Amino acid sequence: MELSEYFSQLFSDYTLRTITMGTAILGAICGMLGSFAVLRKQSLLGDAISHAALPGIAIAFLITGTKDTNVLLLGALVSGLIGTFWIRGMVTKTHLKSDTALGLVLSLFFGFGMLLLTFIQKQPNANQAGLDKYLFGQAATLVEKDVTLMAVVTGICLIIMLLFWKEFKILLFDADYTKTLGFNTRFIDILITFFIVLAIVLGLQTVGVVLMSAMLLAPAAAARQWTNKLSVMIVLAAIFGAFSGVFGTAISASQNNLSTGPVIVLVASVFVLFSFIFSPGRGVLFKQLRKYQNRRDLELQKTLQFMFDIAKTHERISHPHAIKILNNFQGYTKSTLKELEEKEWVKVKGQSWSLTEKGYDAAANLYNNN
């Protein structure tokens, strides 16, 4: 299927519509909650949680024997939460640092999950095939029920976020202050973490445990570059997330044997890369341009200062001087002289220059204004 074909069928084909809806909603909720994860410096918590969810899926299957998504995701939720609280326990109760704790939970839970998965695969009776779609995700397996679940959870999430907006925001930026104001920080903290775990678990079917963390981080990291306002960042992250979901699904649906997870992650990474480079406020490109501009301004000011020092010693400000005397001076280039002329601070006549009245005043106040 070609990419254009995908979009033309989007509105007529039921399956495609369901899948697209699903990934769009998923991207949006991940972007929203990912903003909190990124700002709380818990970016890699998502990685650990998503890996930690794997044994939960396998155990849920072993206990119930069904492949019902909701049951499996419930198992994932439980084991994800256990992983999260174990990480906290390790960091607070022992001297292991958070990176070690994250790495431990991530790899140990995942290894245990893989043990269970291979164990299940060797069982003779079960209809076990298909559990490994949780590794890299397969959006094609989304059905309407899953999408409804996602939509409901996203709705609840939104309501809770609006209800606790003030608390979430203040906790993000100043946890100690929040405590002194009398908020129950522990409760708010657990609430945010719970929703992050929930978002991760929801995405397992589409993106898979291995790459889910990027789904959480990338839209938020991209959105962060465009704004300094929390609400704008969350909205932007949701939009970026939704777009990466839709584009990723479209691309992976139009190719053979491509899992959705990696494609969505790559699309989201492109968003990040674009934002890193082209965001006007923080982007690398404009930062570099501004740096260049600042350097030019400084050179200009240095030249002007030098001219001012010469002009000061003469009776008439407009007394002409040779351009030659500027040559050995590091701030001087032809273009700075031209710029000075354009600002009408300097008059150039043949091989000599003279400071204007305006230029003299500007130079005298050079260090007073800024």
Partner 1 sequence: MDAQLEIQLIAAVVAIACAIPGVFLVLRKMALISDAISHSILPGIVIGFFITEDLNSPLLILLAAVTGVITVVMVESIQKTGLVKEDTAIGLVFPALFSIGVILIAKNANDVHLDVDAVLLGELAFAPFDRLIIGETDVGPKSLWVMGAILSITVGMLFAFFKELKVSTFDAGLSAALGFSPVVLHYGLMTISSVTVVGAFEAVGAVLVVALMIAPAATAYLLTSDLKKMLVLSVIFGVFSAIGGYWMAHFLDASIAGSMTTVLGLVFLAVYLFAPSKGLIAVMYRQRQQRTEVSLLTFLLHLNNHEEESERHVKHLNEHINWQKVRSETVLELAEKNNLIKIDKEIVALTPKGKEFTDLALEYIITNKDEHIEHMKDDFFLFRG
Site residues (vs partner 1, CB under 8 A)? 38, 41-44, 46-47, 51, 89-90, 93-97, 99-100, 102-104, 106-119, 122, 132, 135-136, 210-211, 213-214, 217-218, 221, 224-225, 255, 257-259, 261-263, 265-266, 269, 272, 276, 282, 284
Place of tokens 């590091």: 330
> What is each CA distance from 113 to 132, 197, 199, 255, in whole angstroms?
11, 17, 20, 29
The span from the CA of 223 to the CA of 217, in Å, is 10
Least gap, CB of 58 to partner 1 (angstroms): 10
The DSSP result for 262-294, as a single string, is HHHHHHHHHHHHHHHHH-TTT-HHHHHHHHHHH
Radius of gyration of the chain (CA): 30
Q: Is the dihedral of CA 97, 197, 26, 63 positive or negative?
A: positive
Half-sphere exposure of 9 (CA within 13 A, CB side): 15
CB of 165 to partner 1, least distance (A): 23
In degrees, rounded to 5, the angle at the alpha carbon of residue 318 between the alpha carbons of residues 313 and 322 is 80
Report the 3 state secondary structure along 43-70.
Answer: HHHHHHHHHHHHHHHHHHHHHHCCCCHH
The type of residue at 251 is I
The DSSP result for 76-124, as a single string, is HHHHHHHHHHHHHHHHHHSS--HHHHHHHHHHHHHHHHHHHHHHHHH-S
- Shortest gap between Cβ of 247 and partner 1 (angstroms)? 14
d(CA 255, CA 260): 10
Instruction: Closer to partner 1 by CB, 202 or 340: give it.
Output: 202
Q: Indicate the residue among 51 and 53 with the shorter CB distance to partner 1.
A: 51
DSSP for 116-168, written as a single string: HHHHHHH-SSS--TTTTHHHH--GGG--HHHHHHHHHHHHHHHHHHHHTHHHH
Q: For residues 72 and 316, give the distance between their C-alpha atoms in angstroms, rounded to a whole number.
A: 88
Sign of the Cα torsion 85, 264, 279, 289 reads positive
Q: What is the DSSP letter of 323?
A: G
